[in-house]
Chain A
Amino acid sequence: MAKYHITAEINGDETEYLCEPEQTLLDVLRDELNYTGTKEGCGSGDCGACTVMMNGRHVCSCLVLGAEANGAKIETVEGMADGDNLHPLQEKFIEHAALQCGICTPGILVASKALLERNPDPTETEVRYWLAGNLCRCTGYDKIIRAVMDAASEMRGN
């Protein structure tokens, strides 16, 4: 089977990979490149566990083909921390107990980061609607929303 030869920038590293035409970006990240921090909850764009940044926009990587990522800039949860400094969202998720099982956490962190880059001072309602595509079955969202709001506040310098 002919595979595509793709070059993409992943978490700042130029990366080459081969992928089958039907493989999704999620499959490539997890199975070919071992970026298993990005999770698969549904494979159909309904749960958000696979959320990554692609060229500055957050996407469901299960809905993007691996081949489509040629030349793209991809950021995953593994690229969120700066060296040994966690991103404020990561800090606040731990502090607020915003994760229970943690399977939704990578996708929610990436989606939340995308929100705060666009809107540094979101209302609770804005956070809730922004994250409406990211399912969490454990927490009831309460502590997730609080963690995102608190991280936003801290990042604004409060």
Chain B
Amino acid sequence: MSIAEADRPEGKVFKQIGKRIKRPDGVDKVTGRARYGADLNLSGMLHGATLRSPHAHAVLISIDTSKAEAMTGVKAVVTRDDFAEQPDEMAAAGELPVNYMHVVRNVMAREKVLYDGHPVAAVAATSMSIARKALKLIEVKYEVLPHVIEPDEAMKDDAPILDETLFTDGVDPKPTKPSNVSKIVKIKKGDIEAGFEQAEVIVERTYHTKPVHQGYIEPQACVASYSEDGSGELWVTTQGPFMYRSFTARLCGMDVSKLKVTPSEMGGGFGGKNNVYGEPVAMVLSRKSNRPVKMVMNRGEVFRATGPTSGGHMTVKLGATKDGRITAAKADLAFQAGAFPGAPIGPATMTAFACYDLENVLATGYDVISNRPKVAAYRAPGAQVIAFAVESAMDELAKKLEIEPIDLRMQNAAKEGTKAAYGPVFGPIGMEETLQAVKDHPNYNVPLGPNQGRGVASGFWFNIGGETSVTMNLNEDGTVALLVGNPDIGGSRASMSMMAAEELGIEAEDVRVSIADTGSLGFNFLSAGSRTTFAVGKTTINAAREVIKEMKARAAKIWDIPEDAVVWEDGHARPASTNAGDFEPLSIVEIAKKASTTGGPISGHIQTNVTGAGPSLATEAVDVEVDPETGQVKILRVTVAQDAGKAIHPSYVEGQFQGAAVQGIGWALNEEYIYDDKGRLENPNFLDYRIPVASDLPMIDTVIVEVPNPNHPYGVRGIGETSIVPVMAAVNNAIENAIGVRLSDLPMSPPKVLKAIEENS
């Protein structure tokens, strides 16, 4: 879909866009009426529970379920025997594609268990307490194997091998020995050696990050109901009902047409609800028991078995001339994929230096499997991990060059026309604008006290478009029903209604947005990659234009003039000029009321694969105060400037910036997966895995930068992810500024900070 000249976003005057309307699902969500994953109960419904491996790595020798099956109240038990083998075949799943052969093994362990928490069997019973008791009666024999967690350990020659059939992809000649390195990718531009030769100043350092969890407050939950006629329904909290349909149908051996997935309201996802876990298991339990089955994870299961993000082991080297021109940038990064291949090394290598306009770049990524849950996407997957290293290195380089860090970034900033190392030539992007916005913000000039420091960092995220299908129906009273296929994570019903209203020339409250089940629309890609407001919004606008076209045709019919003699303005059809005829304008209400006699119902339907998502850049400044006695880091001020292209509903744009910044603060200071020497997760709860709470934080100040995306009628860019990217480095740079020592390992918890202070004194 190309955009006409008249449609260029610059200078457009909006009536709805940019308002702060009340979200249409607000009342439901403040009264407890909104139904989330665990909120559905069906008659005859059973409760499912999952038996999980206590070992990090073991051969699964046998599973005896006979005692559990004999227990009163137990209606079905499933194990690996209930799932057919799947071929070695990749499928799209958000930012991180997955392999069916691995999905089936992650859902239910087959030959081996590969992490603490890996499902081994599941039970459906008439009550949760019976289901839990039945799990204790299942006898599993394991042969425990040596395990490995950290990527640098897993890459060693003598490391325990998780998958004997895995040979590193991306090396020539093809290796002869299996390895935990599933893949090596390289992003190259220019001549890296020559670049370092030109450099007068070089910095190089190795950085580590720990796996962290998305930490959505609503655990995975679903109700599966398989009918005797071979069809099934799935109610589930998900970022992608269509994707969950594909995976569940495939794993359960069903035709896609036989399965209807209805998305519930979703209590947070952040990339963690792109993949199936218990859903196919619940469906098979339902098929075996002929009863609906509810499966709800507890928090321990969420931590132990659903996708955290990768921990990374990274070395970054930057070279520059004395006047601050970066001549070479190199990154080596090894990311944990968890038990199956698929760490975000692609996005990490591509985004590593994407904020800058550089001649010579080399980024090499290693996808390393180890005995941890399979990673899932987490808000700008991979980009945040490598940005911690790259943006810390930028700060170190600036200090060495004695240039203000924000100015060094400005001097090397990517801009329109920059050819990114990963291929494309950028259109208009907001790197310089976000740097300037932070520099101009009052926070940037607040004087710092003793033990206080200020850090700046920037970040890049691509954003995506993807398959989208939208239907708009004009109701008989002139109101509008809009059907979209992407769950509302945080205000998308509001932004869709605003875009539809803008086009139609009506009020947003006259557009009712519903989230479709998979039977009601064509395929929609996940709510991921910050695509919803951009791609579903663009498709909604085009659906509205279809409706307008049809309404004009109806007016033309009523007036008996040619269609092209009718224009649409402010919710009315009008004759294009007095030459066309002298008719009173027809409102959308009047046209709707006459629809039955002018040709029947009026609707617009668009299905497309949306392209042209504009990257969104962000720059952030963080002020900290470090307690020299305890090493405790207090966050004093946070300023987030991100390019939204055009903010549809500014409050929800700010909310994304703020939420992302705070997730990054947790990642920087507290959050980490801690394993014991047997490879068991030691902190699978919110007490020991500590996410930020209200009293840890100040207000989060935001600046919405608007550099319009020329590929969206209103200039929209996705904004859901970038704001997390710079945070960990900004905090690190602030700590360095406060204590004079640079840290290189996350989280920067009090003991680590204290050690750094003591070593320095």
Contact between A137 and B217 (Cβ–Cβ < 8 Å)?
yes
CA distance A38 to B655 in the complex (A): 23
Contact between B652 and A137 (Cβ–Cβ < 8 Å)?
no
Apart from the given pairs A20-B127, A36-B38, A136-B694, 15 other A-B contacts in the complex at a CB distance below 8 Å: A40-B296, A41-B219, A41-B267, A44-B687, A77-B32, A78-B31, A78-B32, A95-B22, A100-B655, A102-B265, A128-B695, A134-B693, A137-B214, A140-B658, A141-B693
Neighbour of B30 across the interface among A20, A38, A93, A134, CB < 8 A: A93
- Supposing A78-B32, A97-B491 touch, asked if A140 and B22 sit within 8 A by C-beta, the answer is no
Contact between A99 and B659 (Cβ–Cβ < 8 Å)?
no
A101 at the interface (CB under 8 A from B): yes
Contact between A138 and B41 (Cβ–Cβ < 8 Å)?
no
A106 at the interface (CB under 8 A from B): yes
B651 at the interface (CB under 8 A from A): yes
Contact between B299 and A42 (Cβ–Cβ < 8 Å)?
yes
- Considering only residues 15-38 of chain A, those with a C-beta below 8 Å from chain B are 20, 22, 27, 30-31, 34-38
- Supposing A138-B490, A142-B699 touch, asked if A109 and B217 sit within 8 A by C-beta, the answer is no
The number of residue pairs between A and B whose CB atoms lie closer than 8 Å in the complex comes to 189
Neighbour of B663 across the interface among A129, A137, A143, CB < 8 A: A137
- Supposing A41-B217, A139-B658 touch, asked if A145 and B694 sit within 8 A by C-beta, the answer is yes
Name 22 interchain pairs, CB-CB below 8 A, sorted by A: A20-B129, A37-B31, A39-B36, A42-B685, A44-B686, A49-B217, A78-B31, A86-B30, A86-B31, A90-B30, A95-B22, A97-B652, A101-B216, A101-B267, A109-B30, A128-B695, A131-B695, A134-B693, A135-B686, A136-B694, A138-B659, A140-B663
- Supposing A41-B217, A99-B26 touch, asked if A77 and B659 sit within 8 A by C-beta, the answer is no
- Considering only residues 25-39 of chain B, those with a C-beta below 8 Å from chain A are 25-27, 29-36, 38-39
CA distance A81 to B686 in the complex (A): 30
CA distance A40 to B39 in the complex (A): 10
Neighbour of B658 across the interface among A77, A103, A142, CB < 8 A: A142
Interface 1/0s, chain A 112-136, versus B by CB < 8 A? 0000000000000101110111111
Contact between A41 and B31 (Cβ–Cβ < 8 Å)?
no
Q: Which residues of B contact A102 (CB under 8 A)?
A: 25, 29-30, 34, 265, 267
Contact between B489 and A105 (Cβ–Cβ < 8 Å)?
no
Contact between B691 and A137 (Cβ–Cβ < 8 Å)?
yes
Contact between A127 and B686 (Cβ–Cβ < 8 Å)?
no
CA distance A140 to B701 in the complex (A): 11
State how many angstroms separate the Cβ of B320 from the closest Cβ of chain A: 34
State how many angstroms separate the Cβ of A116 from the closest Cβ of chain B: 15
- Output the nearest chain A residue to B664 by Cβ-Cβ distance: A140
A46 at the interface (CB under 8 A from B): yes
- Supposing A140-B697, A141-B697 touch, asked if A44 and B299 sit within 8 A by C-beta, the answer is yes
CA distance A125 to B694 in the complex (A): 9
Give the most central of B214, B299, B663: most A CB within 10 Å: B299
State how many angstroms separate the Cβ of A22 from the closest Cβ of chain B: 6
- Output the nearest chain B residue to A76 by Cβ-Cβ distance: B32
B662 at the interface (CB under 8 A from A): yes
Q: Which residues of B contact A36 (CB under 8 A)?
A: 32, 35-36, 38-39
Contact between B38 and A37 (Cβ–Cβ < 8 Å)?
no
State how many angstroms separate the Cβ of B143 from the closest Cβ of chain A: 33
Interface 1/0s, chain A 34-59, versus B by CB < 8 A? 11111111111011010000000000
CA distance A129 to B697 in the complex (A): 10
6 tightest Cβ-Cβ pairs between the two chains A and B: A37-B32, A103-B267, A100-B490, A140-B662, A140-B658, A102-B29
CA distance A119 to B374 in the complex (A): 46
Q: Which residues of A contact B692 (CB under 8 A)?
A: 140-141
- Considering only residues 65-90 of chain A, those with a C-beta below 8 Å from chain B are 76-78, 80-81, 86, 90
Give the most central of A38, A141, A145: most B CB within 10 Å: A141
State how many angstroms separate the Cβ of A28 from the closest Cβ of chain B: 12
Neighbour of A43 across the interface among B298, B659, B660, B693, CB < 8 A: B298
B104 at the interface (CB under 8 A from A): no
State how many angstroms separate the Cβ of A5 from the closest Cβ of chain B: 18
B189 at the interface (CB under 8 A from A): no
CA distance A35 to B216 in the complex (A): 22
Neighbour of A131 across the interface among B30, B660, B694, CB < 8 A: B694
Neighbour of B659 across the interface among A1, A41, A86, A139, CB < 8 A: A139
State how many angstroms separate the Cβ of A141 from the closest Cβ of chain B: 4
- Considering only residues 193-223 of chain B, those with a C-beta below 8 Å from chain A are 214-219
CA distance A143 to B658 in the complex (A): 9
- Considering only residues 631-680 of chain B, those with a C-beta below 8 Å from chain A are 649, 651-652, 654-656, 658-663
Q: Which residues of B contact A99 (CB under 8 A)?
A: 26, 29-30
CA distance A101 to B268 in the complex (A): 6
Q: Which residues of A contact B27 (CB under 8 A)?
A: 86, 90, 94
A152 at the interface (CB under 8 A from B): no
State how many angstroms separate the Cβ of A124 from the closest Cβ of chain B: 8
B439 at the interface (CB under 8 A from A): no
Contact between A39 and B218 (Cβ–Cβ < 8 Å)?
yes
CA distance A103 to B662 in the complex (A): 17
Q: Which residues of A contact B699 (CB under 8 A)?
A: 142, 145-146
- Output the nearest chain A residue to B651 by Cβ-Cβ distance: A97
Give the most central of A44, A102, A127, A140: most B CB within 10 Å: A140
- Output the nearest chain A residue to B666 by Cβ-Cβ distance: A137
CA distance A9 to B32 in the complex (A): 18
Contact between A103 and B685 (Cβ–Cβ < 8 Å)?
no
B12 at the interface (CB under 8 A from A): no
State how many angstroms separate the Cβ of A131 from the closest Cβ of chain B: 5
State how many angstroms separate the Cβ of A90 from the closest Cβ of chain B: 4
Contact between A138 and B695 (Cβ–Cβ < 8 Å)?
no
Interface 1/0s, chain B 49-80, versus A by CB < 8 A? 00000000000000000000000000000000
Contact between A46 and B687 (Cβ–Cβ < 8 Å)?
yes
State how many angstroms separate the Cβ of A96 from the closest Cβ of chain B: 7
Contact between B29 and A105 (Cβ–Cβ < 8 Å)?
yes
B141 at the interface (CB under 8 A from A): no
CA distance A57 to B490 in the complex (A): 30
- Supposing A47-B217, A80-B31, A97-B655 touch, asked if A42 and B490 sit within 8 A by C-beta, the answer is no
CA distance A37 to B29 in the complex (A): 9
B435 at the interface (CB under 8 A from A): no
Neighbour of B694 across the interface among A44, A97, A132, CB < 8 A: A132
B266 at the interface (CB under 8 A from A): yes
CA distance A131 to B41 in the complex (A): 31
Contact between A129 and B31 (Cβ–Cβ < 8 Å)?
no
CA distance A144 to B296 in the complex (A): 28
State how many angstroms separate the Cβ of B523 from the closest Cβ of chain A: 24
CA distance A104 to B30 in the complex (A): 10
Q: Which residues of B contact A136 (CB under 8 A)?
A: 217, 694
CA distance A38 to B266 in the complex (A): 15
Contact between B686 and A101 (Cβ–Cβ < 8 Å)?
no
- Output the nearest chain A residue to B294 by Cβ-Cβ distance: A31
Contact between A103 and B217 (Cβ–Cβ < 8 Å)?
yes
CA distance A103 to B658 in the complex (A): 17
Q: Which residues of B contact A34 (CB under 8 A)?
A: 41
Neighbour of B32 across the interface among A27, A38, A95, A129, CB < 8 A: A38
Q: Which residues of B contact A127 (CB under 8 A)?
A: 694
Give the most central of A41, A80, A103: most B CB within 10 Å: A103
State how many angstroms separate the Cβ of B642 from the closest Cβ of chain A: 13
Q: Which residues of B contact A144 (CB under 8 A)?
A: 694
